[in-house]
Each structure stands twice: as structure tokens, then as C-alpha cells.
Structure 1
Amino acid sequence: MKKLLLIFLLCWCSHWGMAQQAGRLTLRGTLTDSLGQGLPEATVMLLIPADSSLVSFGRSDKDGAFEFKNMKRMEYLLKASYVGYLPFQFHVKPESEAVIDIGKQEMTELNQDLYEVVIKTARAPLSIRGDTVEYDPRAFKVPPGSSVEDLLRRLPGMQVEQDGSITAQGEKVKRVTVDGKRFFGDDTKAATKNLPAEAIDKVQVFNDKTEQSRITGVDDGKHEKTLNLQLKDSHKKGGFGKVTAAVGTDKRLAGKINYNRFNEKNQFAVIGLGNNTNQGGMSWDDYQDFKGSQSFNWGDDGDFGFGGGRYISFGGGDESLTIQVGSGGQNRGYNKNFAGGANYNFDTKKTKINTSYYYNQNHQDLDATERQTRFLESSAVTTLDTNSRRNLNRNHRLGVRFERNIDSLNTFILLSNSRVGDGTSAYQSMERYYRGETSANPLSTVSQINNYSDFNSFAMGNTGIYRRKFAKKGRNVAVSAAYNINNSDGLNTQRSSNRFIRTGLPDSTAVINQDNDTKSLRTQLKSSLLYIEPLSKRFILESFYNFSFKSDQVDRNVYDLSDRTQLNRNLSRYYLNKTDFHRVGTSLRYSNNGLNISGGLAMQQIHMNGKFAVDQGEDFQATLNRKFVNWTPNFSLNYDLKSNRFLFGGYHMNINEPGISDLQPIVDNSNPLYIRVGNPNLVPSIQHSGNLGYNMFNPGSFVRMYLNAYYNYYQNQVIYNQTVDQNLVTTTMAANISGGNDFGVYADYGFPIVKTKSNLSLNVNYGIGNHLTNINGLLNKTLTNSYSLGLRLDYTPSDKLTFYSNANWSIRDTKYSISTTQDQKIINARYSAEMNIKLPKEIYFNSGFNFSTYTNNRYDFNQSMPILNVSIYKTLLKSKKGEIRLSAYDVFNQNRGINQSAYQNFVSQEQVRTLARYFLLSFSYNMRGMNHSVRRNNRF
């Protein structure tokens, strides 16, 4: 850590020292109109005359003055732009003077006669209009065959993380569009990873309205950072794409293809991949869909009203109650991935259609060893687990969005999203339980588990939204209706043998040999109504009503294999739960001069009606009929302080119904030493949340700052009480408890060391959490203090060299009230660097290095993992359409999955065998569309 900080300090001092050395110069001047009045906020840039590459940029002050300090003594092309004026150019030829003052320079107003001149001179590397920053990719060169993601990393103010997520001007990019149209829904990575950089004419970054604001017509003061990729005219005619095939050592194979065909009204794109190199085509949303937990999280679901307390989201919970098969995840173990999809957009002034289909298949082999210690009131239990998992998941996703502007007053939106999935999961485990903190303590239990699951699932969400404007400006009505369904079934086999070792007594053995057939059906009908009435120019009244009716039906039949026709009546259950929800509320919004304040109150009622029997068709043994009425306040603040400075905050109360897997009075014994029991007496949990933040971005200097603080307090939070018997068998039951809370502060600051050449950013994070659980009847309070620090340095002096580096440190300090001697600190650190070099004869070199450390001195756990990847490639064929590449992954052969965590009364360390060193030889071919000249009508 000290060495890395020293490197950053030396880089900073080096640039600072260079800036102060003799021979530097200062350039200043003033931009005026024809009357001699200064033009404020004009974009001013210094370019290299030879190739118009950007050296530095800024904005004029309120009097139209600008200044560039400590510039290298060389020739420059000074270019300035201002909306409605002809771009201004001045050739700077310094001699011996220390300051060059070009004085007042009059800019010429734009008229039709000068339009052709604008077309010829308007192109500039970067332009700034308000909160919109527009880049010309031709000024930020990347190697042939690069993707849009590679291009974005070169742009000032942009950051691309290793997972592909994008940060612009200090904020996470929520939406990426192509020519203003959706591309594979709202997946921000689909376009940046699959479109070629050479297809992009402009990159535009701006603050867009939220989806809720667009649908309702009410400006709520919130915004979503949006990135739009404007295609070149040459790529709007004909098709373009890229195909890659690779073969490597240890039978490694990989292939990838994308093809795109765009015009003014239509967009069509196809992507596909297949590999056994752990290169996932599966996004986080796809992985969650396999579990059924984020099926319809598309943002525009028609749930009107202020945030918090809405409850009527659809999805959530593992409805099928599949047996324990362990968790997977990309880049762990050995994965074979196949994926493909198509996207089609049709866009006119009145009609917008967006459709996308995506298929993903993942086959994973994973072998792991895990050590876990649980702290009891006066003792501890340590588990050593060696397990293997064989998972196969297949997933089809189809999405359709239709929007029709019937006329200037009426708009209709139809949304349909569906998912079909199936797969198998096999889990084998050898677990040893010890009475104490280490394996040197007496052995208590030995358990062998062999579980298998075969499942199918189908889910669909359909929403219709109608909005009407009225003659009175600001008066709007919006109504939505939706029907959702989530159906799954699975056949699970459970095989386990458990030997309990008792001091002075013979060992006892418990064997589980069962089949579990579970069917789950969830349906939901919901609707929302929103009425907006402007009381004056500054005050708006928003009234809403939400309704939802949800039915959960689970039929779980467990058979002992000794008699396949006879139900195990202790474990089998038929459960039917119906929940209806009503919420009515109103809020008053004040909006004036960038200040947007809203305060509101709603009353909501949740009615839960549940009943269960041993088997479907039998009399119900117990029923649940409960109503819960709550008042939910809400407050939000969004203040546009101008000059790209924003203050935001708010408070809301969120009420959530317990998950169906926690409500069902079912005993889940898939792990016979860790038994789960449902609790039908659970009540809805309440979360009070508040936050306050500030965001600033200076488009002239590209300095950015982001601050945010939050606090959560929980009432009737669902926790899992633990009871550990003399054989160390743990039984957990969901229960409600109040008193848990979280508090956190996050800060991020970034600035260019040398504009367009190097950037430095720093982020710090602090969080404290107090979480409760009962262990053998005693209340345990787990207090966790988390600290993290991150540094990032980007150095891009030219298209021949780029260097990106990161350093992140985190400390998790955990304290337990029931056993203070077990308090511990988990320390993780990660250092990474990537370098790209252009060599002679169109040869390129790329290297990436990651060094991770994992430390827990309490358990003498100290692991480090250096990972080095290198590749060398050359462009070939006509127009550089081909590329041949030789890559080496994990040169040191050190890759392995490592994870450590501490929560509630647990602490664990896990290591996973995963794909390590291999070599790959690949060939890529770029398919390019028609090349022709089209006269453009764009302004600077």
C-alpha cells in the first residue's frame, strides 16, 4: 500500500514540477459578440494543428475571458464555440514571451449564408452545452477493432469498471442508447461491449428524466445519467459487425459474433457467444432470473405514487423452495457459456417499438473448501466443508415495449416481459463439525450430503399504461393495469448420512433418503391511478391509488423412498396465501428555479389470508387472516444549484410483506444439520430510510465531487433465530425484531492532472451496521464497522500508450455481544493495472495485472493472489479488417476463488478451484457496411 501511494505521489509531483519549469507559457483572451459584450460559458479548446488532437479545454467566465496556464511552448490551434455563433479559430505561434494575450476576439453570429462554413469547421474533439458533454471519437484514437467500451475509457470524465459498468461525471450511467433508441432493453453493457468504436460519430452524455417522470409528465427533479451513441452515416446504411474465433491449450475454445443493421427508423442487432473460458455472456440480471428474484425489474412498471411503501413489486423470494445446491456465479469454478440474442427497434414520431430476445446457457463445475465458525453464548462451532457443485441453467428472455402517441394529449404504453428457464443442480458435500474454534477441538458430527434438483420455471409480466394530458397545462391523468405470473416446479432428491459422535456413548446415525416434488404458482393483478393538478406555477398536487391482489400457491410433497407412495406427513405441505393491498395518498410538490421539494402522506392496508394442509384436497389444518394498516410519510428534495451542481435527499418509509418461503410452515431439511422452519405469524417489516447527498461536475475543468450519507432503521425486521442442540444441529426460524440500523457515508473526488492526458480519483466509504439475532434464546448484537479507500489513476498520453491503475483497500471490523473474545477484522486489498502499447507495423501489446490480498489475523488467514494476463495482436487484411491475437491468461498460474465474510454470528473463509493458466490464439474479422459520403447537417 505504501509503495502504491508513493507512486501516485511521485506522478503528481512530476506533473506539478513540469508545470512549473521554465519555458512554459500562459495563453489568455476574451470572446465577445458584435457589440463587444463578453460571451460566458463558451467552450474553448487547444488542439495540435497536425491532427486536431485535444491538448486542453475550458470554458470562458461570465465576462467571456479564458486562460490556459503552464502550457508547453509549441504551436496550437485555439478553437472556441458558442451556441448561435460561427466557431472561432486562432493559430497560436509562441516565441519567447511568457504570456500570450490575444485580446478581445469577436465571434460572428451564425446565419444561413455561413452554414456551409460551419459544416467544414464545426468538428471539434469536445463540446459542452449546459449539462451535455459531446465527444468526437476521432480525437481519441483507439486501436482498430476496438469496442465502444475501449473508446469510453479514453474520454475525459468517463470511467469504465472491470465489470463493464460506466461512470460519467461522477455518476453511474443508468441508460445507454444508440441514436436515441433502446438497445437490448436498458442493459448498459450490451451496446458498449458489442458495437465497434469505429461506428460511432458522437458520444453524448447528459442528464435525462427518470422513467417515472417521462410516463407521468411530472418533473420530479431527479435525473438519470444517460449516454447516447450516435452512429456514423456510413453505419446507418448496410450492416456491420465482428466475428471472433479462438482455440487454446487444455481444449479451450471461444467464439463471439455480433451483427448490426441500422437506419433512421429501424435498428436490428444480433449477438452470440460460446466458450469454456469463464467469459460470461450472462449479466447479473440473468443470473438473478435463474433464481426468480428480479424477473420484472425494468423500471417502468406503472406503480405510480411516491417511492417507499409500495409493496406491489413482483418477483422476490425463492418460490420453489429448491433444496440446498450451493451458490454459483461467473468466474468461479469451470464454466461453459452459450448465449445469443436479437434486438429490434422501430422508431417514428408517433410510434416506438422495442423488442429483444436473449438466450443464455451456463454449465458450471465448482469444487470448494469452506471453513465456518459460529459463535454461541459461551462456545463455538467450527465446520469444515468440502463440496462440489454441478449446475446447468438455461434461460430464455423476451421483452417487448410499445409506445404510441395517439395525439398530442394521449399516450399509450404496453410492456411485456417473459422468462422461461430450466436446469439441474447437483450438490455433494462432506461436512465435519467441531466443538470449538479449530479442527483441533473434539469432532462432533460427520455429514455426507448428496442432493440433486431438476427444475423448470416460467414467468411473465404484462403492463399497460395510459396517460392523458388536459387543456390546462400540467393537468395529467395516468392509469396502469398489470398481470404477472410466476410458475415453477422442481423434483429434488435428498440423500444424506449423518453420524453423531457422543462422548462415552455409542455413535448415532441419521439417514435421509427422500424425494421432494414442489410446485409453486404465483399470480398478481395490480393497478394504479395517478391524478396531477397544478395549483399554481410553483405548486403541484399529486394524488394516487394503488391496488394489488396476489396469490401464492405451493404444493410440496415429500416421499420417503422406503415407501414411494406414502407421503412424509411431517414434511409435506400444501400452502395457499392470498394478499390484497390498497394504498391511497397525496403529495404536494413545489418546483421553482431548480428547487424541487415534495412532501406526502399515504395510508395503506395489507390483508393476508393464508391456510395450509398436509396435502392438496385435505382439510386445512390452520389459517391465517390478518390486516395491517399503516401511514407512510414521504419527503424528497432535489435542488439544481446550476452549473452542474445538485443537492438531493429525502425520507421514506418502506413496508414489505414477508417472503413466501419464510411464511410457509414447512420444515426444510435439505441440509440435515441446518434445518429451516417457516413462520406463518410473521408481520410486515418496516424500514425507515433517509439520505442526503451532493453532486458537482465542472465541465470546464472536469473536476467532479460526489457525497452521500444514508441512515436506515428497521421495525419488525425479519431475522433468523438459531437454536443449536447437543448434536450441533442448528434449527432456524424466521421471526420479527425491531432495533437494527445502518449508517453510511460515501465520498468520491476526481480531477485531471493533465487535461486529456491523466486523471486521478479518490473515494472513501464508511459504514456502521447494528444487526440482531437470537441464538439459543439470547439476543446477539453484531456491530460492524466498514472502512474502504480507493484510488484510480488513468494515464493516456497518446494513442500509442494507455495506462489504467486502481487500488482498493477495505476493512470490516466485526464485534459480537454474546462473545466479545471472537471480535475480528477482515482486511481485503486489491491492486490492478492495465497497459496498452502500440508497436511498429500495426502490432499492439496489452497487459493486465491484478494483485489481491485477504487477511483475517483472528484465524491466521492470510492469502494473496497475483493474476497477470498478456496479449499481443496485429491487424491485417485490407482496411485493417482482420486481427490475429495471442493471449496468455493467469501467467503465474495463481487463480483461485477466495471469499471471506463475517455476519450475524458467523465468520467464514472459502476457496474455490477455478480456471487458471491457459493460452489462446484468436482471429477476428470486422464486417463493415457501405462506405459512402453523405452530406451532414450537424452544427457544432
Structure 2
Amino acid sequence: GGGFGGGRGMGGGWGGGNNGITTSWMGGVNGAWTLFDNKMDLSGNYLYNNTQKLVEEQSSRTTYLQDYDQIYNSDGVNDTRSWGHRVGARLEHKFSENTSIIFQPQINFGGGNYIQTSDYNTDYDRNGTIEKINKGNSANTGDNRNFNASGFALLRQRLGKPGRTLTVMGRFSFSDNKLNSRNLSNVYSAFSGDDWGNLQVTNQAIDQTSNSHSLFGRVTYTEPLGEGFFVEANYGFNWSRSSSEKNTYNVDPDDETKKEYDPFYSNSVVNDSKRHDIGANVLYQTEKFRAQLGFSAQPTKTHNETYRAGQKLDPYDDTRWRFAPTGMLWWEMGENANMRVFYRGSSNQPSVSQLIPVPDNTNPLRISFGNPYLAPYFNHGLNGDYRFNNKKTFASLNVRFNGSYVQDPITTATWYGSNGAAYSMPFNGHDSFNAGVNLFANIPIGRSNFTISNMARGNYSTSASYVGGSDVTSLIGNYYDAATGDMDYAGFMAAYNDGAFKFDENVIRTVTAVERLRVIYRNDALELSLSGRTRMNKSWYTINENADNTMTFNNQVRATVNWTWDEPGITFKSDYNFNWYNGYSSELNYTPEHILNAEIQKTLLKRTMTIALKGYDILGQAKNLSVTDSDNYHSEVVNNTLGRYIILSVTWRFGNFDRSKMRGPGGMRGGAGGPRGFAGPPPGRF
């Protein structure tokens, strides 16, 4: 997956998930052959994909600060289009019972474009007194082209003794992307009386190119020790290089053919990375029990060269060791039940973008900095499941659980300018924790046609961020030059360590709970169901007691019917949902909604053809909405949906396909999966 690299959705969630209206179509061809007396399988595929996504979004975001709340409202539209081609092949050859190879090359190329507009405003809420801080509008466009070539190879060799194997694998990739974009914005600030005192205008044209290369190889040796024990040793090496060049021009508003090169908003970056992966695993295995312990060390070397404003910044070189212990247990507890538990620990280093001291000032209201003083962090992850299935009564129970604990996690320190602009920098924070459990039960009621199913899910998380007060706001001008985008990191960190200003720690704790109860009736011709569902989300923030009023509920009652009249081949399906919401912002439209869908089918030509008429959102009330609690803010978003529509479909079944040979390299599941291309407009504007 990943799409073909059109313009990215608007920052802060635009175009993500199921938001907006997506129109897509694709066409392709697959072929497969067996050669050399069934010793070789050869397949190939071609796919073309074209997608358009239109998102209309209203959002309301409350940021909790020590002395006041910042309220940000926006209304915008994003139209993104992408297209691409994929050509792939797979060759698998078996030289003997002990030796085989696999080779999978693939080429993707395509492009995309985006158009997005937005109107927004920011206010301060000081205990009920509203103060206007800024308002603005923006229009951004972009057009990109991308190319990607990759390949995967695998050699498997048995070495005489049963269980003794040697595996060698390798992977390569190359990508090239080009983006031409326009960035126009007007930001009004310094409100007094009935007028805005300041206007900041941005009119930029940006040409950006990027390419990357990578090579990866791994050798794995497995040795059986007897009595169910195995030992495995592996070594891997990964090399990658990426480079990008961004040229920014200020456009004359009176004559758009006149452009002036802006060195402060232009840069050139080269990143090199080399990583070794040295690991070992011990496995114990019986018919009903498996246990595995492993450990790997990953020395990593990173080199970065950055050019900005015509000057080469100090190169960044970093060598770190990462460590990753692992564990696994699998236990079959009789005929009906089994349990699995996995643990993985990993030592991780900050990303290059988090470390490099180059401000990202593309969006004048959301400016982010790197932090060269970041330290590595360690993540502990635990997950597993318990499954029970009574094959006589068809009752089943599935319990899944997960948890993570991060030491010295990278979090965000944020402060605000007098015009409402947000400045952010990554810092190592206090340890964070997350735990969740998911339960699903399906219980037939005796020998009747009724079944009860229940799904319950709960999650708890806690993390910290940092928020600067008025002292940081008043002093930031001593270290950051907004005209040139330069930041005095050494001076800023020295002043922070000397106590010239401080950041207040904000601990956020979030609880999410979901419950759905469903009753189902089935016979040979009819299936009826009735269910109720609710989702609760609640967060607590230590920085501001008013922030505790963030409990929201999404509620639903659902009824479905599926009736089949077998003799004439007629099927009728329908579902009705009543959705209502509690606790959301009054700024957005969260009225209850009635969603009705229906479908009727008729089989023809000895049941080889099916004609179906489907109606969706017949009452025209559907909408998308979401809520996010993170760092020191609470955000609510409403998006457009496709709404009321009807589909007439004809399906003709004229043969059976071997599904095992339908997928080429990487599979066709989930769409074309071409290169991502450039991200679209700058993040954080919405």
C-alpha cells in the first residue's frame, strides 16, 4: 500500500483514514507459468491505479496552557489526485530438495497533484474572556512525479541434518521524486478595536527533488540441538542514502513571472546511514508448547550534511548501539484453547530530522526546531492473546492484550508567540506507559437460533509534554530570528539550563472504553440482528484543571436484516443505524443521525449472474467525526462523506481462479502500492 505519491492530505489529519470522498479505479493483468518439470514458477503482473480524494473539514482545537486556553477553529477543502503504474514479477526455482531461490523485482512510477484552501482563526480564552489573536487564510497547490525500483532475493539451503538450514536474503531499492508547489497565505494579528494591526503575507514557489538508495542483506543459520531445542544466529547489514534539494522563491504578487530566490527557506540535505544487525535466538518446541528467547545488537552510524542560506552547516555524525531483546511463548491448553505472549525491547535513537538544528518555518504559525541534545530512548513492548473455541457448541472467546513502557521518550516542548504562533522542539521526557485489552465473546443460546456476541475494549495511556509560559514567549526573540529562520541553539539551551525561563510539565492521562452487545437470530432464510454500542474517551491534563472537561461519547443502536428467497434467487438486505453524541464542542455540528442502507439482489442464468441494486445513506444524514487528545490539546474534527447514492451492479461468474497465483510481488491487496512521493503541503496548518 502507500498510494502513488500524490499530494499529502492537510496537516493534522486531513485526508487520513476514511475521511472525505474517494473515487478510484484500477485495471491490471496477471500471468503465471510453471516450467522445467514443475521446478520453476514464474509470474508477472501489471496494474494501473487512479484515485481522487475530496475532503471538506471543520475542526475545533483547544490547547490548554497555564493561564489561559488557546482555541483554534478552521474550515477548509483538500482535493488530492494520484495515478500510477506498477510492473512486477516473481521467480521461484527449486534446484533440489535442499536448495531453492526466490527473486522478486518491481517498478513503480506515477504522479499526483493537490489543491487545498483553508480559513482559520485563533482566540485566547482567559476565564471566559475571549481575546482575538489571529486569523488567516491559505491556498496551496502542488504537482509531483515519482519513480521507484526495488528487488528482493532469497536463497534457502538445507545442510544435511534435519532442521539445519542456511538462509541468505537481500533487498535493494531506488526512488526519485520531484515536486513543484505553491504556498500562499495571509496571517492577520495584533487585533485592536475593530482592526488587525499586522498582516504577514507569504507567496512562495517551491521546487523540490529527492532521491534515495538502499541495500540490505541478511544471513541466518539454524542448528537443531535435539530434544526440541534449536539455536539460530543471524547477521544483517543495511546501507541507505537519501538526498533532497529544496529551492524556494518569493513570487511578486503583481507579476507572478517574477521570482526571487530565497536562500533562508532553501536547503540541501544528504543523509547516510549504516547499520549492522547481530543477533541470536534459542527456541524450544514441542507439539503443544513453544518458547523463544533472542537478543540482537545494532551498531548504527549516521552522517548528515546540510546546506542552508548558501552555507554548509556543521556536519552531523553519530554512532550509537541499539539493543533489542525478544521473547515468545505459545501454549496449546487442550483441544479448545491456546495462548500466545510476545515481548520485544528495543533501544532507539532519535531520527535525523529530530536532531538536525534546522528550523522548519514553512508555516509561519507552526514553527518546529530540531534538538541536537536528544538522548536515545528504550521501548518495552508486551502483547498476546488467549483463544477458546468450543467445537461442539460453537461458543468462542478471544482476549487480546498489549502494553508498552518507554524510558526517556522523545516528547514535545511547545511555546507560543504574541501573534499566536506555536513553536515546538523535541525533548526527552518522563517515562510513558500504555496498556489495553480487547475481549470478544460469541455465545449460542442452547439449541435455539439465537446467538449473543459481545465486544469490549479498554485502553489507558499516560505521557508527558512541556509547555512554555510568558517568560519563554518574551525571551524567544533573543534566540530566534524570524526574518532569516535562524535559531541560536547553544544560547537557547544555555539560558534554559541556567533557569532564565522554564517549561511547565503537562502529564496527560487518557482512558478509552468501547462496549458493543449484539443479539442475532438465524434460520435457513432469515438473519436478524440488534446491537448497541458506545465509545467513551476521557482525558486529564495536569497543566489546566479546566482541561478535565474532555469526556466524549459516541453511541449507536443498529438493526440489520438479511432475507433470502431461495427458489427465485432473491435476496434483500438492510441495516439501520441511529448515532448520537455527547460531550463534543458546541462549535461543530454533532446532531444525531439516522443512517439507512438497503440492497436487493436477483440471480439469473442458472445463478451465474447476479443483478443488485444498492442504496446507501438513503436519508442523507451520514457524517465523519473524530476526537484526539494528545500533549496539551483536545481536538475535534468533522469531515464530509459520500452521502446518499445508489449503485446498480452486475456480477457474472464464469470460472474458478487459483487464488494462490493471483498476487504478484507485494500482492495486489490494498491497491497499487506505488512510491509515496513527496509529502504535500506543510504539516500543522490545520
TM-score (norm 2): 0.82
Letter in structure 2 aligned against 1:545:
Y
Distance, in Å, in 2 between the alignment partners of 1:838 and 1:708 is 35
Letter of the structure 1 residue corresponding to residue 306 of structure 2: F
User: In structure 1, what is the equivalent of residue 24 of structure 2?
Assistant: 337
Secondary structure of the corresponding residue to residue 546 of structure 2: helix
Contact conserved, 1:715 with 1:739, CA < 8 A, in 2? yes
Matched to 1:624, the amino acid is: Y
Residues 1:744 and 2:436 are matched in the alignment: yes
Equivalent position SS for 2:275: strand
Q: 1:838 to 1:374 in 2, by over 3 A?
A: same
Aligned partner of 2:621 in structure 1 is 894
- Report matched runs for 1:169-318 at 5 Å: 285=1, 288-290=2-4
CA contact (8 A) 2:601 2:611 kept: yes
Q: What's the counterpart of residue 434 of structure 1?
A: 123
Aligned residue number for residue 328 of structure 2: 636
Equivalence for 1:580: 274
2:79 corresponds to 1:390: yes
Letter aligned with residue 266 of structure 2: S
Distance (Å, rounded) in 2 between the aligned partners of 1:757 and 1:819: 53
Match for 2:405 among 680, 698, 713?
Answer: 713
Q: Cα offset for 1:738? A: 4.3
1:833 and 2:527 are equivalent in the alignment? no
Q: Does 1:906 align with 2:633?
A: yes
> Residues 325 and 427 of structure 1 are in contact (CA less than 8 Å); yes or no, is this contact kept in structure 2?
no
Q: Which residue of 2 aligns with 1:309?
A: none
**Aligned residue in 1 for 2:592:** 864
Q: Is the 8 A contact 1:323 1:451 kept in 2?
A: no
Report if the CA contact (8 A) 2:177-2:210 is conserved.
yes
Match of 1:154 in 2: none
Residues 593 and 848 of structure 1, relative CA distance in 2, 3 Å threshold? same
What letter corresponds to residue 289 of structure 1 in structure 2? Answer: G
Q: Which of 616, 620, 627 is the equivalent residue of 2:312?
A: 620
Instruction: Give 1:621 shift.
Output: 1.6
Q: Secondary structure at the match of 2:315?
A: strand
Separation in structure 2 between the aligned mates of residue 768 and residue 909 of structure 1, nearest angstrom: 20
| Secondary structure of the corresponding residue to residue 547 of structure 1 | strand
Partner of 2:650: 924
Which has the larger helix fraction? Answer: 1
Is 1:552–1:660's contact at 8 Å kept on the other side of the alignment? no
Give the conservation status (yes or no) of the 8 Å contact 2:5–2:111.
Answer: no
Give a deviation string over 1:834-893, Cα, whole Å, max 9, x none: 3122358444322122232332267687532221012334334x3244444443322222
**Deviation digits for residues 27-84 of structure 1, max 9, x if unmatched?**
xxxxxxxxxxxxxxxxxxxxxxxxxxxxxxxxxxxxxxxxxxxxxxxxxxxxxxxxxx
Aligned to 1:915: 642
Give the match's secondary structure for 1:453.
strand
Aligned in 2, Cα 1:753/1:456: closer, same or farther, shift over 3 Å? farther
Structure number, greater radius of gyration: 1
Stretches of structure 2 that go unaligned for 5 or more consecutive residues are 469-502, 657-686
Bigger mean CA deviation after superposition, 838-847 or 363-372: 838-847
Deviation at 1:624, TM superposition (A): 0.8
Is the contact made by 1:377 and 1:819 (CA closer than 8 Å) also made in structure 2?
Answer: yes
Partner of 2:660: none
- State the match for 2:662 in structure 1: none
Distance 1:885 1:811 in 2: 37
Q: In 2, are the aligned partners of 1:723 and 1:775 still within 8 Å (CA)?
A: yes
Return the alpha-carbon distance in structure 1 between the equivalents of residues 54 and 262 of structure 2: 33
Letter in 1 for 2:557: Y
Distance 1:521 1:591, change over 3 A: same
Name the counterpart of 1:786: 512
Paired residues of 1:324 and 1:427 also in contact (CA < 8 A): no
Secondary structure in structure 1 of the residue aligned to 2:167: strand
Identify the residue that residue 527 of structure 2 maps to in structure 1.
Answer: 802
Task: State yes or no: 1:855 paired with 2:582.
Answer: yes
Answer whether contact 1:524 1:549 (CA < 8 A) is retained: yes
Partner Cα distance (1:873, 1:350) in 2? 45
Match of 2:606 among 879, 883, 900: 879
Letter in 2 for 1:339: M
Higher strand share: 2
Aligned partners of 2:655, 2:326: CA distance in 1, in Å? 53
**Residue deviations 1:906-927, cap 9 Å, x none?**
212222233322344x252524
Q: Is the 8 A contact 2:325 2:346 kept in 1?
A: no
Partners in 2 of 1:649 and 1:345 — Cα distance? Answer: 39
Q: In the comparison of the two structures, how many residue pairs are matched?
A: 612
TM-score (norm 1): 0.61
Between the aligned partners of 1:458 and 1:439, the Cα distance in structure 2 is: 54
Shift in Å, 1:650: 2.8
Larger RCO of the pair (alpha carbons < 8 Å, separation 6+): 2
Where does residue 555 of structure 1 map in the other structure? 245
| AA matched with 2:218 | S
- CA distance in structure 2 between the aligned counterparts of 1:322 and 1:492, rounded to whole angstroms: 14
Please tell me whether residue 515 in structure 1 is matched to residue 205 in structure 2: yes
- Give 2:457's aligned amino acid: N
Pick closer, same or farther for the CA change 1:902–1:333 going to 2, 3 Å: same
Paired with 2:400 and 2:18, the residues of 1 have a C-alpha distance of 31
Structure 2 SS opposite 1:822: helix
CA–CA separation in structure 2 for the residues paired with 1:392 and 1:886: 29
Kindly tell me: are residues 435 and 754 of structure 1, through their superposed partners in 2, closer, same or farther at Cα, counting changes over 3 Å? same
Question: What SS class does the counterpart of residue 435 from structure 1 fall into?
Answer: strand
CA displacement at 1:689 relative to structure 2: 0.9
Q: Which amino acid aligns with 1:796?
A: R
Q: Say if 1:858 and 1:546 are closer, same or farther in 2 by CA, change over 3 A.
A: same
Q: Percent identity?
A: 21
Are 2:385 and 1:693 aligned? yes
Q: How large is the RMSD of aligned CA atoms in angstroms?
A: 2.9
Query: Hey, what's the Cα distance between the residues in 2 that align with 1:654 and 1:636?
Result: 15
Report the Cα distance in structure 1 between the residues aligned to 2:573 and 2:10, rounded to whole angstroms.
44
Tell me which of 235, 253, 264 is aligned to 1:570: 264
Distance 1:578 1:923 in 2: 52
What secondary structure sits across from 2:419 in the alignment? coil
Deviations 1:432-457 (A, max 9, x none): 11112899722211111111111222
Given that 1:449 and 1:496 are in contact with CA atoms closer than 8 Å, whether structure 2 keeps it comes out as yes
- Could you list the per-position Cα deviations for residues 719-769 of structure 1 after superposition, in whole angstroms to 9, with x for gaps in the alignment? 332221111101223333341111112222223236694433212222111
Change (3 A) 1:927 1:885: closer
Supply the distance in 2 between the matched residues of 1:322 and 1:797 (Cα, whole angstroms): 46
What corresponds to 1:811 in structure 2?
Answer: 536
| Matching residue's letter, 1:590 | Y
In structure 2, what is the equivalent of residue 769 of structure 1?
Answer: 461
Q: Structure 1 residues 848, 636: closer, same or farther in 2, change over 3 A?
A: same
Q: Distance in 2 between matches of 1:659 and 1:441?
A: 39
